[in-house]
Amino acid sequence: MTIFQFMDTFRTEQDCIEYIKDLRLKQGITCKRCNEKTKHYWVKYNNKFQCSVCRSRTNIKSGTIMEKSKISIRVWLTAIHFISTIKKSFRYILL
């Protein structure tokens, strides 16, 4: 993905939240209260996951590298994009 494609895909913080939400729902979320990988529902108004068993809510950043950070998800994704692009460039130079 080029930087231009990236900027078109992740135009707003909400675009980034939707992307992370879909990834995490696909991967599965472990409930901090149940301590099990249970089915979670998305609560859109506060951008949290809700456990279907105990109804405990989990922040979208919880359990990720972004957990303790106040930096927006968009900034995180941009940084991750640059790091992965640089890594690919190094691969092309080396091979």
- Say whether residue 53 binds Zn ion (CB under 5 A): yes
Q: Are strands 48-51 and 40-43 parallel, antiparallel or unpaired?
A: antiparallel
Residues near Zn ion (CB under 5 A), total: 7
Asked if 54 is part of the footprint of Zn ion (rule: CB under 5 A), the reply reads yes
Choose the stretch contacting Zn ion; rule: CB under 5 A; options: 9-17, 49-57, 72-80, 87-95.
49-57
Q: Does 31 bind Zn ion (CB under 5 A)?
A: yes
- Per-residue x/- mask for Zn ion, residues 62 to 91, rule CB under 5 A? ------------------------------
- Cα 20–24–30 angle (5° rounding)? 140
Please state the closest distance from residue 33 (CB atom) to Zn ion, in A: 5
What's the one-letter identity of residue 71?
I
Contact 10, 63 (CB under 8 A): no
CA 10 to chain CA centroid, nearest Å = 12
- 39 phi/psi in degrees, rounded to 5: -70, 135
Site of interaction with Zn ion (CB under 5 A): 31, 33-34, 51, 53-54, 56
